Amino acid sequence: MQIRFSDAPAETAGSLSPPIIARIVDQDALPADLEPVLIEAAKATRFAGKAGQLFEGFVTRGENVVRVALAGAGEAAAKDRSSALEKAGAALTAKYLASGATSLTLDLAGSALSAEDVAAVLLGARLRGWRMDAYRTTLKPEQKVSLTEIVVQGAPEDAETVWQGEAALAEGVEFTRTLVTEPANVLYPESFVERCQTRFAGTGVELTVLDEPAMQALGMGALLGVSQGSVRPARMLAMVWNGGGDAKPTVFVGKGVTFDTGGISLKQPTGMEDMKWDMGGAGAVAGAMLALALRGAKAHVVGICGLVENMPDANAQRPGDVVTSMSGQTVEVINTDAEGRLVLCDALTWAQRTYAPARIVDLATLTGAIIAALANEYAGLFSNDEDLAKDLTAAGENSGERLWRFPMGPAYDKMIDSPIADMKNVGGRYGGSITAAQFIQRFIDKGTPWAHLDIAGMVWAEKSGATWDKGATGYGVRLLDRLVRDTLES
φ and ψ at residue 409, rounded to 5 degrees: 170, 175
Distances (CA, A) of 67 to 61, 114, 145, 334, 456: 10, 25, 19, 62, 42
Q: Cα separation of 295 and 297, whole Å?
A: 6
Listing DSSP states for 394-437 in one string gives HHHHHHT--EEE----HHHHGGG--SSSSEES---SS-HHHHHH
- Which segments within 2-135 are labelled E, that is strand? 2-6, 20-25, 54-61, 64-72, 103-107
Asked if 279 and 256 touch (Cβ cutoff 8 Å), the reply is yes
84, containing H or E segment? helix 81-96
Cβ-in-10-Å burial (0-12, 13-18, 19+) of 73 comes to buried
Query: Minimal CA–CA distance to 178: which of 486, 374, 459, 479?
Result: 459
Q: Edge to edge, what strands does the sheet with 103-107 contain?
A: 2-6, 149-153, 103-107, 20-25, 64-72, 54-61
Q: Cα separation of 236 and 214, whole Å?
A: 9
Distances (CA, A) of 194 to 89, 187, 199, 333, 473: 33, 10, 9, 31, 22
Query: Minimal CA–CA distance to 271: which of 462, 62, 446?
Result: 462
Name every residue whose Cβ is closer than 8 Å to that of residue 76 and which is 6 or more positions away in sequence. 26, 27, 29, 112
Active site residues: 267, 341
| DSSP character at residue 79 | T
Three-class SS state of 187: coil
Q: Which residues of 322-342 are buried (b: 16+ CB within 10 A; e: fewer)?
A: bbbbbbebbbbbbebbbbbbb
Distances (CA, A) of 316 to 35, 93, 259, 282: 70, 46, 14, 23
Asked if 272 and 253 touch (Cβ cutoff 8 Å), the reply is no
Distances (CA, A) of 272 to 132, 184, 253, 276, 432: 21, 12, 25, 8, 20
Name every residue whose Cβ is closer than 8 Å to that of residue 258 and which is 6 or more positions away in sequence. 184, 187, 188, 189, 192, 232, 276, 278, 279, 307, 308, 309
